[in-house]
Amino acid sequence: MLSICKSFGAKYNPSNPALQLPQMTSSLALSKECMSSLNTVQATFSNALSARGGVFKPFKALVTRIGNAVKASGVSKQTQEQVTAIVRKLQGRRATPKLSEEEKQAAQAAGQEVVEISSAQTSIDNLLENFDKLIKLLASIPEYAPNETELTVSSLTAHYADMFAKNQAVIDAEQPLNSLRITRNELLYNENTGIVNVANAAKLYTKSVFGATSPQYKQ
């Protein structure tokens, strides 16, 4: 579009500064620079997400193994229940099954209030917090001494640190991405100076100068 407007020579002479060729050229350059930076930080963010997924994806299977290892270690029933409660949270399972619609209706018909509190604590922050609680609980259980290296307290502590670091990397990568998206939207879609609206205005200006049926406007 800029090339077309430049080809009009002196006939393209808008009074609106935003439509003048120097400003349009500058806006285009800034937008291109922003898009290039955005693509770079998007790649960084995507890589951070992928790395985090690599350590979080097999997490539930690991937690299941920990729970079974505790049960097989000969700890007291009370300790088993403490571990199971945290494992259940890490796996997003409920302590008691949800009521079916028929059971809810029957309870309501009998005048009983039906209140179900979600037990899911599967956000990244909750997973990390509960995993840390589980590790500290395991460290306090003398009977928990698995021969499997990946289930030892020291290995789980290192695994937690890796999960925490990779989650932080996602958080750190997301901030510049969000900032650049705001900048991009401002450069492209600002009501007065965004290149989309400037382009439409330049199109209307060309129409006013050369006419709706002119070959210049049709370009």
Residue 91 CB contacts under 8 Å (≥ 6 apart), including other chains: 60, 63, 64
pLDDT mean across residues, the chain: 89
Cβ–Cβ < 8 Å for 8, 216: yes
Mean pLDDT of the 87-103 span: 67
Cβ–Cβ < 8 Å for 9, 3: no
119: confidence class by pLDDT, cuts 50, 70, 90: very low
116 has a pLDDT exceeding 90: no
Q: Helix or strand or coil: residue 134?
A: helix
Ramachandran sector of residue 83 (left: φ over 0; alpha: ψ -120 to 50; beta: rest)? alpha
Cα maximum dimension of the chain = 91
Cβ–Cβ < 8 Å for 193, 16: no
